[in-house]
Amino acid sequence: GAGVSQTPSNKVTEKGKYVELRCDPISGHTALYWYRQSLGQGPEFLIYFQGTGAADDSGLPNDRFFAVRPEGSVSTLKIQRTERGDSAVYLCASSPPDEETQYFGPGTRLLVL
Amino acid sequence: AQKITQTQPGMFVQEKEAVTLDCTYDTSDQSYGLFWYKQPSSGEMIFLIYQGSYDEQNATEGRYSLNFQKARKSANLVISASQLGDSAMYFCAMREGKRGSNQFYFGTGTSLTVIP
């Protein structure tokens, strides 16, 4: 079956611009996670959705970052006024109900010039 | 303090040999879960194996086994009969708190290279 998909696969933007990163989880998966992975590091938790609501957004670094999941499926991570330090791979993962194994997408590589 | 520590930035192993990738963790919770993921150069994280803190037996999944030493807070991954396709980054991760918690922490990873 189809895995987690993320679009775009690569995004280059200029400092100060707004970007949206999309995640399509596996069908039927209720939990959705966003992570940020900087070069040479492991994934760092950003936000977690259970259904439509953000159950935990404690990992978002500041108020320039926001994520939504309006219908409990597709999620969008939004970054306002991008900074060079936002350059990283943004990973999305989903889990089925009653299972905690996370299935990851291929990530979006964001480069802020 | 780091929640997950992987002290081997890079490892080499001869094809068909076994290799152990180290992972130690830090938590005061009694209930937690430990995971290993593989990240090939394509970037996608692939789930390999899971160990619950209350599981008495070491987890095994095919060529992967997790050497769980609770008192030492270590969860080393053992890959038997290494294959060229095993060359990748390997990440140890912990779910802190009871099942259903969303507090996941990843280590910095170990780069494994399998030599023909």
Q: Answer yes or no: is pLDDT of A5 > 90.
A: yes
pLDDT tens per residue, range B91-104 = 999 988 665 667 78
**Other residues' Cβ atoms within 10 Å of the Cβ of residue B51:** 21
Percent of chain B with pLDDT over 90: 82
The per-residue pLDDT for range A11-58, each reduced to its tens digit, is 999 999 999 999 999 999 999 999 999 988 999 999 989 888 877 888
Cβ-based contacts of B46 with chain A (< 8 Å): 104
Partners of residue B105 in chain A, C-beta under 8 Å: 45
Give the gap in angstroms from C-alpha B88 to the nearest C-alpha of chain A.
Answer: 13
Which pLDDT score is estimated for A100?
76
Q: In the prediction, which pLDDT does A58 show?
A: 85
Task: Tell me the pLDDT band of A89, cut-offs 50, 70 and 90.
Answer: very high
Sign of CA dihedral A37, A40, A42, A45: negative
Residue A50: predicted pLDDT: 87
Kindly list the residues of chain A whose beta carbon comes within 8 Å of any beta carbon in chain B. Answer: 31, 33, 35, 40-45, 48, 50, 55-56, 89, 91, 93, 100-107, 109
Contact: B109, A42; criterion CB under 8 Å: yes
The 10s digit of each residue's pLDDT in B10-26 is 999 999 999 999 999 99
Buried residues in A24-43 as b, exposed as e (16+ CB within 10 A): bbbeebbbbbbbbbeeeebb
Task: Collapse the DSSP code of A85 into the 3-class scheme (helix H, G, I; strand E, B; otherwise coil) and give the result.
Answer: helix
- Rounded (10°) CA dihedral B1, A40, B51, B85: -160
Q: For residue A79, what are the contacts with CB-CB under 8 A and spacing of at least 6?
A: A18, A19, A20, A21, A64, A65, A86, A110
Give the separation between CA B37 and CA A54, rounded to whole angstroms: 25
